[in-house]
A and B are shown apart, each in its own frame.
Chain A
Amino acid sequence: MKNSLLNYTIHLADNAHILGHRLGEWCGHGPILEQDIAMTNISLDLIGQARSLYQYAAEIEGRGRTEDDIAYLRDAWDFRNVLLVEQPNGDFGKTMVRQFLFDAYNFLFYKELKNSNDQQLAAIAEKSLKEVTYHQRFSSEWVIRLGDGTEVSHEKVQNALNDLWMYTGELFVMNDFEKDMTNNGTGVDLEKLKPLWQEKVDYILKTATLAKPQNDWMQSGGKTGRHSEHLGFILAEMQFMQKTYPGQVW
């Protein structure tokens, strides 16, 4: 059970960390200065959430490791984030679609996790929910704006949506550590979130005049450590300092 709680916490931390890292790649390169600032804001929130979760994971583990040990000293197969969050930024439209698909899930998720019988996770969820509420508003507004903007923007976000759709199924596939955590009242029952997520996504896509993709085949593997090719490159950059200069204080 302790192992499931550890994996569960690391899974949540990795989701936030990898997505925050991806958004950080935008910093200084955004399409509008105001949007640059907003994406950095979301990145900061997510990495902040990841830190709380990694710190808690280190505590559960009880081997004296730190948040940085967990973040920087694992290889891709030990990362538990969903495939969606490691997908490349693409253009601003693709980043916003990825963000929206994840935010819509994350919002519902934290709303439930707030009631967890694990006090630490409940507290982190409570704090994160405020942030994620804003993220969801931001990304859904942009999906609508771009979907219902010009012909060019409509086509771009529709393509992005088509490309990313196959990574949404994994959000709701429960694997062993999630089942364990749901059974003992710590985790969130993803089956229950799925219809709510679909409702939200349908509504936003409709408002954005975007068509819901029809392909049903869903990729998965992230939660069990089988990632896309992208994660290795993310880690190569992210972990460069810790790997080149092991054991230093920064």
Chain B
Amino acid sequence: MADLNSLEAKFQEKIDNEIKIEPKDWMPEKYRQTLIRQISQHAHSEVVGMLPEGNWITRAPSLRRKVALLAKIQDEAGHGLYLYSAAETLGVERDDLIEQLHTGKAKYSSIFNYPTLTWADIGAVGWLVDGAAIMNQVMLTRTSYGPYSRAMVRICKEESFHQRQGYEILLTLSRGSEDQKRMLQDAVNRFWWPSLMMFGPSDKDSVHTAQAMKWKIKRKTNDELRQQFVDVCVDQARILGVTLPDPNLKWNEERGHYDFSEIDWDEFWNVVKGNGPCNKQRMDARIKAHEEGAWVREAAMAYAEKQAKRRKEETTQVA
């Protein structure tokens, strides 16, 4: 057996030469575990993320919006499926991953623990939440693990459509009545900071970043991505005529970036720990769907087995 050091050296050499790692290739156990954690967390986020938006399907204000919202949430379910499949290439089962979500062992993006209170929130989620997700996911199209990178290419196309759609909802509100403008500003007030938190802890506190960068799982740090996001949002907010809720947001000529206030990290960690406004509701809803679906999954399996048996009996009869 080749010794571990030379395997690791070869692996790192591939990474350094931008050669994708594929499921059958040798990889360090920690690389595998990091990917399983990250991809499954990502998959869970897609699925849990269906809930806050699903909240508004039955109340969408027009048929056109209702259709667009349904289609958008359906895309997110599809993203969940691709990502669970990508995770399965690393030797885990979707059922086990879902189990980890339901027992609280696995995390999902904290943004989905915030409520959607008005129709404008559906626009804000598209603009800011899908927008922040894209920053991260565009980077991940170049991630070192082949199946993850390919899943991201597919997903990114849809995400940018979601983001435009969300922005267009807000643009419509911005041209509307006083009520609509108020709704718009209120949604931006509530979603701005949680969206910035989506990039994760600050680099100085991020335990995983350095190794993930070396393995090229990540290619930009949390703070780099967050800055990039703030920079693009400022102009977009101006067009909407909304104020981003940060008095310290201003252009820094020297840095060539916008400065912004420090994130409220207490809130960040508090929501991660489970104390966000909707952590409990989101998990309850997922667990309920899963538990109430158990008899359906069992029936489907029992039926498939019966069918297989029947087919086998038929062929033996023929023979």
On A, residues with C-beta under 8 Å from B are 17, 21, 24-25, 27-37, 40-41, 43-44, 47-48, 50-51, 54, 67-68, 71-72, 91-93, 144-146, 148-150, 152-153, 156, 234, 237-238, 240-242, 245, 248-250
Contact = CB atoms under 8 A, between A and B. Distances in A.
A67 B74 contact: no
Contacts of A21: 58
Given A29-B289, A248-B176, A150 B299 contact: yes
Contacts of B289: 28-31
B80 A152 contact: no
A33 B67 CA distance: 19
Interface string B160-188: 00000000010010011101100000000
A31 B289 CA distance: 6
B172 A250 contact: yes
Nearest to B301: A149
A29 B295 contact: no
21 contacts: A24-B70, A28-B51, A28-B285, A29-B288, A30-B293, A31-B290, A32-B300, A44-B67, A44-B74, A50-B63, A51-B64, A51-B67, A93-B296, A150-B299, A153-B295, A153-B298, A237-B58, A241-B61, A242-B62, A249-B176, A250-B61
A150 B302 contact: yes
Query: What is the predominant secondary structure among interface residues of chain A facing chain B?
Result: helix
B292 interface: yes
A87 to B, nearest CB: 16
B298 A152 contact: yes
A238 B58 CA distance: 5
Given A25-B57, A43-B70, A47-B70, A152 B295 contact: yes
A195 to B, nearest CB: 29
B50 interface: yes
Interface of B: 47, 50-51, 53-54, 57-67, 70-71, 73-74, 77-78, 80-81, 84, 119, 169, 172, 175-177, 179-180, 285, 288-290, 292-300, 302-303, 306
A28 B67 contact: no
Contacts of A92: 292-293, 296
A92 B172 CA distance: 37
Contacts of A31: 289-290, 292-294, 296-297
Nearest to A24: B57
A72 B64 CA distance: 12
A27 B58 CA distance: 10
Contacts of A150: 295, 298-299, 302
A148 B303 contact: yes
Contact of A33 (B60, B80, B119): B80
Given A32-B297, A54-B63, A68-B64, 4 more contacts: A25-B58, A32-B293, A153-B296, A250-B172
Contacts of B288: 29
Contacts of B299: 145-146, 149-150, 152-153
A248 B177 contact: yes
A245 B70 contact: no
A41 B78 CA distance: 12
A140 to B, nearest CB: 13
A249 B172 contact: yes
A41 B75 CA distance: 11
Nearest to A156: B295
A243 to B, nearest CB: 10
Contact of B62 (A44, A91, A250): A250
